[in-house]
Amino acid sequence: MALDLEEQEQVDELKALWKKYGNYITRGVIAFFVLYGLYQGWGYYQTKQSLAASELYQSIVVLDEKNTKDIMQKAQSLIDNYGGTPYAGRAAILFAKASYLEGLKDKAKEKLEWASNHAKESATESIALIQLGQILVEEKKYEDALKKANDVDNEGYLGLSNDLKGDILNAMGKKEEAKKAYQEALKRFGPKDPYAKFTQEKLESLGV
């Protein structure tokens, strides 16, 4: 079917544009599909990594806590192979607990430090900071412990972090500051939190 003059002009314009910019358009299209393919491939890789990490993590949590060597071995494997997943931070905490039970405090601190810096989840980071602070209190490194407690910013763990602050300040002889920390912990816990009664006992021991 013959084209009218206006249609022919439009076709000629398209041909001219394609002749001038066709290579750029083709390259752009190719680049788009390459990037899209990379994006899809990366998403598949991340999903595969997360599933594998989840399976390995589940194989750790079902172990008896007395089986410390297996826990440490599997947890380290998860950290080494799936360090970019949320399960790595959780595995580091399990490793820390197992090594602490073995009397290996330095290894426990090392893994808790790693978790506090690399955890993908705020809750995991907070747990690591609190547990690390507790070990530092045992070692009488009160200033370092206080810093860890102050670094906790997850709302769900501010009760525990303030309770820890109370323990640290009390050990440092700062009774009034300890009272305030325990009182803040009680506010954060709420009356139904099972841990609140222990904080209340500490507060009462200070004469409140």
Residue range 185-197: average pLDDT? 89
Q: Which residue has the higher pLDDT, 4 or 126?
A: 126
Every domain of the chain and the residues it spans: 33-120, 142-208
What is the rounded distance in angstroms from the CA atom of residue 55 to the CA atom of residue 132? 27
pLDDT digits (tens, 9 = 90+) for 4-31: 555 555 545 555 555 555 555 555 544 5
Specify the 3-state DSSP secondary structure of 166: helix
Per-residue model confidence (pLDDT) at position 38: 44
Say yes or no to pLDDT of 134 above 90: yes
What is the rounded distance in angstroms from the CA atom of residue 196 to the CA atom of residue 14? 75
What is the rounded distance in angstroms from the CA atom of residue 198 to the CA atom of residue 42? 47
Per-residue model confidence (pLDDT) at position 36: 47
Identity of the residue numbered 89: G
